Structure 1
Amino acid sequence: MTAAESFDGLPDAVTDVFGDEATAEQAYDLLTVDVPPAAWIAALETARDGLGCTYFDWLSAVDEPGTGFRVCAHLAALPASGGRVRRLLLRTTVPHEAAVLPSAIDVYAGAAWHERETHEMFGIGFEGHPHLVPLLLPEGFEGHPLRKDFVLAARVAKAWPGAKEPGESEHGGPKRRTMLPPGVPDPNEWGPLKGQLPPAPARPARTARAAADRPPRRTPG
């Protein structure tokens, strides 16, 4: 049986190709196969050698609260001449408390940078990766920003390391009221520091000016 025939036989024959614990579904011309973490490398090798998926597109993850991190690799079998491209999304799920997978670089060398990005964005480890260091985030960045438990309010609770606002002085003087960035809640009401911070200063109430203090209204003439 050719690789194309094996591919077209899925998802009905998924357990014959990827093992007893594999499941599959097909929608919008994309075949999705889920395998357990222990079968991750074997499934990648099967996709490459058995289904002809020699093209590695990307690898990333999704944080599924209450389930774990779903690691996904998008692969493709390219036709030799004519025909159609067959696309495969291979997935596995690792628990939040043990987010580790073997590296796929020995199967698809192009996975190296994708695993580095997934490691820094989600905190997933890839055993056997020779250079699992940050790829996109600045040096010293704390946390993994694509995890669902990454709290944006942290940038409000921690002093911004940049320069002072124009007009502010080290020796007192008027200062601008501290503002929350758009979409970020009060860190004392939501997040890891909830209830641990002093209340934010209230904005002074605006008082109505007396009619005599208001400038006269201009009327069209």
Structure 2
Amino acid sequence: MTAVGWLPAPVEELFGTEATAEASYEVLTVDVPPASWISALETARDALGCTYFDWLSAVDEPGRGFLVSAHVVALPSPPSKSPSQSLPPPPSPSSSSVRRLLVRTTVPHEAPVLPTAVAVYAGAGWHERETHEMFGVTFEGHPALDPLLLPEGFEGHPLRKDFVLAARVAKAWPGAKEPGESDHGGPKRRQMLPPGVPDPNDWGPLKGQLPPAPTRPARGAARAAGDRPARAAGERP
């Protein structure tokens, strides 16, 4: 067993026999099982000097689970200053290096639960609240997993891959009106379904009450023959 990147010992000795490590783009990544999540963060802080907490988040990986990641950093020690020097000497390249560590673990979709890291890194509190909101990962022992970004009463977790992009299907756009919908006249542009938004007749509060959503004309066939799709009077191309 050999050490990976800037690790002082093999990853198995530092983070446990089930841990793996790889280094790329000046970031050292260590993957551990969920049961070793807190002990891995403690090792990063105490044994590797990663005292700076940067961020914590997750990624929804279909078929695998939620990949929770914490990015921590070991900052270089400031150079010592002797009494006879008015300014400290410039640091050497070795003493000015910043060591970046990404600790990751995967929790299943069926039970996305991890212990909170607030006792190890106090700054993880806000990040865990955001990850709980966006992905539904529960951090046991967190002092207050209260809503952080989403409005009160919001249902679901927006960054999950199975979250429906309801957009204007569930609620009308609260901003400016579409062209042709104001009182100042003007042509109304062709209605099209936004990408990623389901048919409002198939999903939403008006399910089964609307005609099918408009579709774009087929490409290639009509234009190959020199024809263009017909438009209503005053309709923009």
Category of TM-score, reference length = shorter chain: 0.7 to 0.9
Tell me if the contact between 2:200 and 2:213 (Cα under 8 Å) persists in the aligned partners. no
- Structure 1 stretches of 5 or more lacking a match? 169-175, 209-221
Are 2:184 and 1:184 aligned?
Answer: no
CA RMSD of aligned residues (A): 3.2
Map 1:145-184; keep pairs closer than 5 Å: 145-152=158-165, 154-160=166-172, 162=174, 179=191, 182-184=194-196
**2:105 corresponds to 1:108:** no
Q: What aligned pairs does 1:63-78 form with structure 2 within 5 A after superposition?
A: 63-78=60-75
Contact 2:199 2:212 in 1 (8 A): no
Question: Is 1:199 the counterpart of 2:211 in the alignment?
Answer: yes
Counting matched residue pairs gives: 192
Q: CA offset at residue 199 of structure 1? A: 3.4
Change (3 A) 1:66 1:100: same
Structure 2: 5+ residue stretches without partners? 79-90, 216-229
Correspondence 1:8 to 2:6: yes
- How many angstroms apart in 1 are the aligned matches of 2:21 and 2:158? 30
Residue 185 (structure 1) shift: 4.0
Whole-Å Cα distance in 2 between the matches of residues 201 and 87 of structure 1?
A: 49
- 2:99 is aligned to 86
1:60 aligns with 2:57: yes
TM-score normalised by the chain length of structure 2? 0.70
* Residue of structure 2 in register with 1:172 after alignment: none
Measured at CA, do residues 79 and 162 of structure 1 come closer, stay the same or move farther in structure 2, by a change above 3 Å?
closer
CA contact (8 A) 1:102 1:126 kept: yes
The separation in 2 between residues aligned to 1:178 and 1:157, in whole angstroms, is 17
The structure richer in helix per residue is 1
Q: Deviations over 1:142-172 (max 9, x none)?
A: 21111111111x234324385996669xxxx
Sequence identity, in percent?
A: 60
TM-fit CA distance, 1:79 = 1.4
Measured at CA, do residues 177 and 9 of structure 1 come closer, stay the same or move farther in structure 2, by a change above 3 Å? Answer: closer
**AA at the equivalent of 2:52:** Y
**TM-score computed with the length of structure 1 as normaliser:** 0.74
Q: Does 1:48 align with 2:61?
A: no
Q: Please give the per-residue CA displacement for 1:5-59, whole angstroms capped at 9, x wherever unaligned.
A: 997236x700010000000000111100000000000000011001111000000
| Per-residue deviation, 1:200 | 2.5
Report the equivalent of 1:213: none
The question of whether the paired residues in 1 share the 8 Å contact of 2:5 and 2:23 is answered with no
1:138 is displaced (CA, Å) by 1.4
Residues 183, 106 of structure 1: alpha-carbon distance in 2 compared, 3 angstrom cutoff: same
State the AA in 2 paired with 1:140. G
Letter in 2 for 1:15: E
